[in-house]
Structure 1
Amino acid sequence: MSQSPRFRYEEIADFVAGLAGRGTLKPGARAPSLREISTQQRTSLSTAVQAYRLLEDRGILEVRPQSGYYVAKPPPALPVPTTARHSIRPAKVELSGLMLDLLKHASDEAFVPLGCAIPNQRLLSSSRLDLVLARTARVKGSQCNTYSPPYGEMSLRLEIARRALRFGQALAPDDIAITCGCTEALALALDAVTEPGDTVAIESPTYFGLLQVLRAKRLKVVELPTDADTGVAVDALREVVASGKVRACVLASSFSNPLGCTMPEENKRAVLRILAEHGVPLIEDDVYGDVHFGEERPLPFSALDTHDNVIYCGSFSKTLAPGYRIGWIATRRHMARVLETKFATSLATPVLTQVALATFLSNGDYDRHLRRVRREFADTLARMTRVIEQAFPPGTKVSRPAGNFVLWVELPEPADTRLLFAQALEKRICFAPGVVFSASGKYAHCLRLSGGHGWDARIEKGLRTLGAMAVRAAGLAGSGKKPVRSG
Structure 2
Amino acid sequence: MDQHTLDLPLYEALAGRITALVDDGVLRPGMRTASVRTFAAQHGVSLTTALQAYRLLEDRGVLEARPKSGFYVTHRPHRQRALPTASQPPQRATPVAVSNPVFSVLAYAGDPSYAPLGCALPSAGLLAAERLDRHLARCARVHGRAYNVYANPHGDAELRAQISARGLRLGHAVSPDGILITNGCTEALNIALSVTCKPGDTVAIESPTYFGLLQVLEARGLRALELPTDPASGIDVASLDKALGMRRVAACLLASSFNNPLGTRTDDARKAAIIRVLTRHGVPLIEDDIYGDISFGDDRPRPFAAIGPKADIILCSSFSKTIAPGYRIGWLAANRRHDEILAAKFALSLSGAALPQKAMADFLKSGGYDAHLRRIRKLFADNIDRMRRTVDRSFPKETRMTDPKGGFVLWLELPPEFDADALYTRAIRERICFVPGGLFTATSAYRNCLRLSCSHDWDARIERSVERLGELAHELLA
TM-score category of the 2 structures, normalised to the smaller one: 0.7 to 0.9
1:84 — aligned with what?
Answer: 87
Identity of aligned residues (%): 48
Q: How much does 1:308 deviate?
A: 3.2
**Counterpart Cα distance in 2 of 1:165 and 1:32:** 49
TM, length-normalised to structure 2: 0.85
The answer to whether the Cα contact below 8 Å between 2:28 and 2:73 also exists between their aligned partners in 1 is no
Residues 407 and 448 in structure 1, CA contact (< 8 A), matched pair in contact too? yes
| Counterpart contact for 2:128–2:322, Cα < 8 Å | no
CA offsets 1:76-123 (integer angstroms, 9 cap, x no match): 311111112122221211326431221101110100000010001111
Task: Provide the aligned C-alpha RMSD in A.
Answer: 2.4
Count of residue pairs brought into register by the alignment: 427
Aligned position for 1:19: 30
| Structure 1 gaps, min length 5 | 1-13, 38-59, 62-68, 476-487
Query: Does structure 1 residue 277 correspond to structure 2 residue 280?
Result: yes
Contact 1:126 1:369 in 2 (8 A): no
Matches within 5 A, 1:262-341: 262-341=265-344
SS at match of 2:450: strand
Amino acid at match of 2:408: F
Q: Distance in 1 between matches of 2:377 and 2:165?
A: 21
2:143 is aligned with what amino acid? Answer: K
Q: Which amino acid aligns with 1:398?
A: M
Q: Which residue of 2 aligns with 1:388?
A: 391
> For the residues of structure 2 that align with 1:127 and 1:248, how far apart are their CA atoms?
38
Query: 2:30 touches 2:73 (CA, 8 Å); kept in 1?
Result: no
**Match of 2:146, SS?**
helix
Work out whether residues 162 and 365 of structure 2, in 8 Å CA contact, stay in contact via their aligned partners in 1: yes
2:368 paired with 1:365: yes
Return the offset for 1:307.
Answer: 2.7
Runs of 5+ in structure 2 lacking a partner? Answer: 1-24, 41-61, 64-70
Q: Secondary structure at the match of 2:144?
A: helix
Larger mean CA deviation between 455-464 and 300-309 belongs to 300-309
Q: Whole-Å Cα distance in 2 between the matches of residues 284 and 468 of structure 1? A: 38
- Partner of 2:228, secondary structure, is strand
* Structure 1 residues 265 and 31, CA gap change in structure 2 (3 angstroms): farther
Greater mean deviation of Cα atoms: 185-194 or 84-93: 84-93
Whether the aligned pair in 1 keeps the contact of 2:286 and 2:316 (CA below 8 Å) is yes
Q: 1:197 aligns with which of 195, 200, 205?
A: 200
Asked if residue 247 in structure 1 is aligned to residue 258 in structure 2, the reply is no
- How many angstroms apart in 2 are the aligned matches of 1:99 and 1:255? 21
Letter in structure 2 aligned against 1:86: P
Map 1:146-225 onto structure 2 (within 5 A): 146-225=149-228
Matched, 1:115 2:118: yes
Q: Helix, strand or coil: the match of 1:18?
A: coil
Q: Which amino acid aligns with 1:145?
A: N
2:254 & 2:107 partners in 1: Cα distance? 27
Deviations 1:129-170 (A, max 9, x none): 222111111111111211112111111101000000010000
Q: Is the 8 A contact 2:204 2:249 kept in 1?
A: yes
Aligned 8 A contact 1:287 1:316 in 2 = yes
Distance 1:340 1:213 in 2: 19
Alpha-carbon distance between aligned partners in 1 of 2:392 and 2:30, rounded to the nearest angstrom: 19
Alignment-mate amino acid for residue 318 of structure 1: K
Distance in 1 of aligned mates of 2:83 and 2:34: 31
Deviation at 1:335, TM superposition (A): 1.9
Q: Which amino acid aligns with 1:403?
A: G
Amino acid at match of 2:29: G
User: What secondary structure sits across from 1:17 in the alignment?
Assistant: coil
**AA of the residue aligned to 2:81:** L
The answer (yes or no) to whether the contact 1:128–1:365 under 8 Å persists in 2 is no
- Matched residue SS, 1:330: strand
Q: Any idea what SS the aligned residue of 2:140 has?
A: helix
> 1:423-449, CA deviations, whole angstroms, 9 ceiling, x for partnerless residues?
100000000110110011310010000
Residue number among 454, 460, 477 corresponding to 2:457 in the alignment: 454
Cα distance change on mapping 1:185 and 1:233 into 2, 3 Å: same
C-alpha offsets along residues 261-297 of structure 1, whole Å, 9 cap, x if unaligned? 0112111000000101111000000000000000110
Note closer, same or farther for the CA distance 1:241–1:74 as it changes in structure 2 (3 Å cut): closer
Report if aligned partners of 1:413, 1:474 keep a CA contact under 8 Å in 2: no
2:270 and 2:339 map into 1 onto residues whose CA distance is: 30
Q: Distance in 2 between matches of 1:298 and 1:215?
A: 29
Does the Cα contact within 8 Å between 2:234 and 2:266 map onto a contact in 1? yes
